[in-house]
Structure 1
Amino acid sequence: MPVPNTRFSELLQDIEPSTTTKTRASGGHTGIRDHLRTQAKFKDRYVTSFLSGSYARDSAIRPRSTSNGQERPDVDIIIVTNFSTDDHPDTVLKEVCKALEDGGDGYEVERINKRSVRVETWQAEMDIVPVASTWNGYMIPDRDTGTWKFTNPPVHTSWSSAQNTRFGGRFKPLVKLFKWWRRINPLTGRRPKGFVLEVLVGLHAPTGETHYGEAFAQLLENIYDAYGYHASIGQKPFIADPADGSNDILGKVSVAQWTEFIEKVRVYAGIARRAQDADDIEEATRQWRRVFGDRFKATATPAKASTYGGFAAAAPVAAGYTFPDAMAAPPAKPRGFA
């Protein structure tokens, strides 16, 4: 006896970033963008700016609480500049860092990352990413390699929006359920996460299923069916980036991380299936709480089910995946704890 769909709608409402969180995020990124746009020594570098990442795609879940109990969203800010690829990436990122720190309304920079500058305020945790325009996208400076890499964040945003349309408005809620499952059932390493999870939903979500529980169970089953065998022999696939078919979105995911993730998918696909096949709601609820944790309510309460509704058919996406001919050797050990 499946758990009513409204119970999944309740969970979705609960894991949604709060209005306060969204308001703080808006104030945080607006302040950063205005500062760089008007900063005396940087305003001639500044062309425009836009948001990227899950915040921009509306696929974010509620942030983890800080040590003082505050929820601070993670926001990616793209700053389009007139730097050129002839400029050294380290020089570019240091200039952005200085521009953020200078002035009466300057910010305290947390650190300079590989491709961004990190600023943490009471409102949000923000990665400021300088880019240079090119004819088909943007170039992003990589200080580790000293080179510029192609990127096109707006395509990710439009791709996600198109998927949501194809799913009748239910793609992003399913992505949020997938991200929540990933968070409360942690792996040894930090990856895969974020946009990789979104693409997996786009590739493997079921079609024509109106119940979120069944949709989620089938999603996990489909992912394992697609990758389980190859993961068992130490291989991970090439999964094309929707913004650049030559880019593998699993490029930063190690074989060890991928195989651990696929094993976790296998285990929880079984639990989700037991939840769907349970003879009574109490047992089904117990199994779903193993999948989604304590925020999945143990007793039914009224919910605005119309907020998320059923789950409609999804059309195939452009991204695809292939496996290499040679076996991939796993690293000596997985990355550290998230």
Structure 2
Amino acid sequence: MTPNARFLEFIKDITPSATTNSRSVSAHTSVRDAITSDDDFKNEVKRTFLGGSYKRKTAIRPVKKGDDTERPDIDIYVVVNGSTSPASSDYKTPDDLIEELYSALNRNRKTLGITKITRNRCSIAISTNKADMDVSPILERNDEGYYRIGNRNTGEWYLTDPEEHTNWSAKVNADANMRFNPMVKMVKWNRREFPTKNKHPKSIALEALIAKHIDRNESHYGQILHDTFNEIVDHYSTYRDLDLCPTLDDPAIENGDLLNGVTGEVFSAFYDKIEYFRDEASKALAAEDQDIATKHWRRILGDRFPSTKASKSDSSIGMQEAATMSPLTFPSAPSTPPNKPADFA
């Protein structure tokens, strides 16, 4: 079997570096400080917090865009004053919230070094030389305990709880002996290297799918990959036969479906890829020749998966695992409301 050390080496390689993390902290801290100190907006802000894969520590190393420095993606949530009730004196539409936040960020554009700023349906996307960030205005928790995020195009409000997604992810990682986060990173890398035409399921949906089917007791990452893929293939075979998309419970929203809006065609394309990767993992695990095994692992994880000659010795496993499985400190897209549009990001 391929030594676990080679998977640990790979996981370390696809994990954001210390330099990337430093840039991330500098970028989101500057944006959050600007928002809470802007004279025309600060009184509307209750607090800000981080979410997504950056906060859940499931992000992978960022893509280098042309000659630009690799920039991570960070999700920032801004809890603001407002009400969804038209009868309230504090009533605001989703578009109102987006416009107020856009104006505050735009006023601080030069100070923050913003090179691009765009209104999305539920957030403001900004780019700096340090990071790409989605900044989302949300309303305070309602009586049910959920935040609300608005769609400026439709006027709809969605329930969301990115903080609970972070708590849930940390618990799953602990229950899986700190192997859940690395597994998510490997599957996300796999999706980046060998994408389907449509990116769904992604972000929190992909993580929830892995959490549902991961073997929390297995210690060898190659075996975990195979077994997780195999569980997904077995569990959803009927849906694939019928070209339907299953439901997937949102761990933060009661009765929430993280795959709401994803079509059967999109899920089937994802399923077929997973089935192919399951078969490749079976061949890799069965191969006695490590060069042949590596060929199969690279069909799943890409050419960054270390070659036999470049791999570390088995004696380094413990030290590497301790370095790789650091406590939760480090998202991708905003949290998924139960009735979100399929391409909500």
Give TM-score, length-normalised by structure 1: 0.88
| Counterparts of 2:22 and 2:216, CA distance in 1 | 35
In the alignment, structure 2 segments of 5+ residues that lack a partner are 85-90, 323-341
The aligned residue for residue 38 of structure 1 is 37
The aligned residue for residue 312 of structure 2 is 302
Deviation at 1:30, TM superposition (A): 0.5
Report whether the alignment pairs 1:141 with 2:150: yes
Asked if the contact 1:152–1:243 (Cα under 8 Å) also holds between the matched residues in 2, the reply is yes
> What does the per-residue CA deviation read over 1:201-247, in whole Å, with 9 as the maximum and x for residues that have no partner?
11001242121101110110110101122112111111110011311
RMSD (Å), alpha carbons: 1.7
| Counterparts of 2:67 and 2:290, CA distance in 1 | 37
Deviation at 1:83, TM superposition (A): 2.0
Q: Secondary structure at the match of 1:247?
A: coil
The aligned residue for residue 159 of structure 1 is 168
Asked if the contact 1:140–1:151 (Cα under 8 Å) also holds between the matched residues in 2, the reply is yes
| Counterparts of 2:30 and 2:52, CA distance in 1 | 18
Q: Secondary structure at the match of 1:54?
A: helix
| Counterparts of 1:61 and 1:260, CA distance in 2 | 23
| Counterparts of 1:161 and 1:51, CA distance in 2 | 15
| Counterparts of 2:263 and 2:25, CA distance in 1 | 34
| Counterparts of 2:174 and 2:194, CA distance in 1 | 29
Question: In the TM superposition, what are the counterparts of 1:78-227 in structure 2 within 5 Å?
Answer: 78-85=77-84, 86-103=91-108, 105=111, 107=114, 109-134=116-141, 135=143, 136-227=145-236
The aligned residue for residue 288 of structure 1 is 297
Q: Secondary structure at the match of 2:137?
A: strand
| Counterparts of 1:179 and 1:12, CA distance in 2 | 11
Larger CA deviation: 126-135 vs 217-226 = 126-135
Deviation at 1:150, TM superposition (A): 1.3
| Counterparts of 2:2 and 2:49, CA distance in 1 | 41
The aligned residue for residue 287 of structure 2 is 278
Asked if the contact 2:177–2:216 (Cα under 8 Å) also holds between the matched residues in 1, the reply is no
Could you list the structure 1 runs, at least 4 aligned residues long, displaced by more than 3 angstroms after superposition.
106-109
Give the partner amino acid of 1:52.
G
> What does the per-residue CA deviation read over 1:248-283, in whole Å, with 9 as the maximum and x for residues that have no partner?
101142221110000001111000001001122221
> What does the per-residue CA deviation read over 1:150-190, in whole Å, with 9 as the maximum and x for residues that have no partner?
11111100000000110111110111111111111111112
Larger CA deviation: 290-299 vs 99-108 = 99-108
Deviation at 1:108, TM superposition (A): 5.3
Give the partner amino acid of 1:50.
F
When residues 40 and 10 of structure 1 are mapped into structure 2, their CA distance, relative to the original with a 3 A threshold, is: same
Asked if the contact 1:170–1:308 (Cα under 8 Å) also holds between the matched residues in 2, the reply is no
| Counterparts of 1:110 and 1:301, CA distance in 2 | 42
Deviation at 1:98, TM superposition (A): 0.5
Larger CA deviation: 3-12 vs 283-292 = 283-292
Give the partner amino acid of 1:79.
V
Deviation at 1:7, TM superposition (A): 0.4
Deviation at 1:112, TM superposition (A): 0.5
Structure having the higher strand fraction is 1
The aligned residue for residue 316 of structure 1 is none
Asked if the contact 1:109–1:117 (Cα under 8 Å) also holds between the matched residues in 2, the reply is no
| Counterparts of 1:256 and 1:287, CA distance in 2 | 27
Give the partner amino acid of 1:105.
T
Give the partner amino acid of 1:237.
P
Q: Secondary structure at the match of 1:110?
A: strand
Question: In the TM superposition, what are the counterparts of 1:6-25 in structure 2 within 5 Å?
Answer: 6-25=5-24
Give the partner amino acid of 1:83.
G
| Counterparts of 2:44 and 2:115, CA distance in 1 | 20
Q: Secondary structure at the match of 2:135?
A: strand
In the alignment, structure 1 segments of 5+ residues that lack a partner are 310-333
Q: Secondary structure at the match of 1:62?
A: coil
Q: Secondary structure at the match of 1:35?
A: helix
Asked if the contact 2:201–2:259 (Cα under 8 Å) also holds between the matched residues in 1, the reply is yes
Structure having the higher helix fraction is 2
Asked if the contact 2:250–2:258 (Cα under 8 Å) also holds between the matched residues in 1, the reply is yes
Larger CA deviation: 192-201 vs 11-20 = 192-201
When residues 252 and 66 of structure 1 are mapped into structure 2, their CA distance, relative to the original with a 3 A threshold, is: farther
Give the partner amino acid of 1:233.
L
Larger CA deviation: 135-144 vs 37-46 = 135-144
Deviation at 1:69, TM superposition (A): 4.5
> What does the per-residue CA deviation read over 1:289-322, in whole Å, with 9 as the maximum and x for residues that have no partner?
111111111124337533337xxxxxxxxxxxxx
